[in-house]
Amino acid sequence: MNRTMVIAIDGPAGAGKSTVCRLLAKKLGYAYLDTGAMYRAMAWSALEEDLAIENESEIARHIESVPLRFTMEDGAIGIYSGKRRLDEQLRRPEISGWASRISRLKCVRDYLTHCQRQLGKIGNIVAEGRDMTTIVFPDAPVRVFLQAELKVRAQRRLLEYRSKGITADPAALEEQIRARDEADEQRSLAPLRAAPGVCVLDTSCMGIEEVVERLLEIVRRKAGEKVSSIEG
């Protein structure tokens, strides 16, 4: 396996990206880059400072002095606010909605896209998010768009929250995901979509291990195509 390969995976909320990408990276010996956590960190940081999250000039000034720091540690992203490591506070249900709103701002997308590409320079990564294949790594040799039915995605997210001791109302959670889909698909900057040429994989009726195996098949096939192209 080519250890300089970037694997870019997109898809809507609850499609199973985080779980399967983490497992895929582990199987390949790659680093796992969770870019969604970076947007949640920006939203958390703005809320901590009591900023108007859709006021672009205010957020732009915040970015210039924001104490956030992104690193790759032990094969995964580390996010710090000053010396404080951010983790579970970024997974609260309400933070996801605020992240979607702040992601519409050009200053935020430009800043985090730059940070993501810098982290991506290490090469052997599985990068997941909502614009990995279209904006951040459009030339990645492996690009996959994961999708699943809304009810399936809501149930998966509910189980994830429960496993972490986070309380969430099922109906409200499904509505949050539906609204997030609509906002991500309709935003003017880097809208969520399956880019031309990507492999689209519907995971609605698939278990985690099956999804990972299908992704491994795609990676191996693309790696073989890349080698064949070089040899030819």
pLDDT surpassing 50 at residue 66: yes
Q: What is the tens place of the pLDDT at every residue in 10-42?
A: 988 888 888 899 999 999 999 999 999 999 999
Place of tokens 């995901």: 177
Q: What is the tens place of the pLDDT at every residue in 105-136?
A: 999 999 999 999 999 988 899 999 888 999 99
Q: What is the pLDDT of residue 228?
A: 36
Residue ranges with strand state E in the chain? 6-10, 31-34, 68-73, 76-81, 84-86, 125-128, 142-147, 199-202
| Strand partners of residue 146 | 201
Domains and CATH numbers, the chain: 6-215 (3.40.50.300)
144: left (phi over 0), alpha (psi -120 to 50) or beta: beta
174: left (phi over 0), alpha (psi -120 to 50) or beta: alpha
- Summarize the confidence of residues 153-159 as an average pLDDT: 90
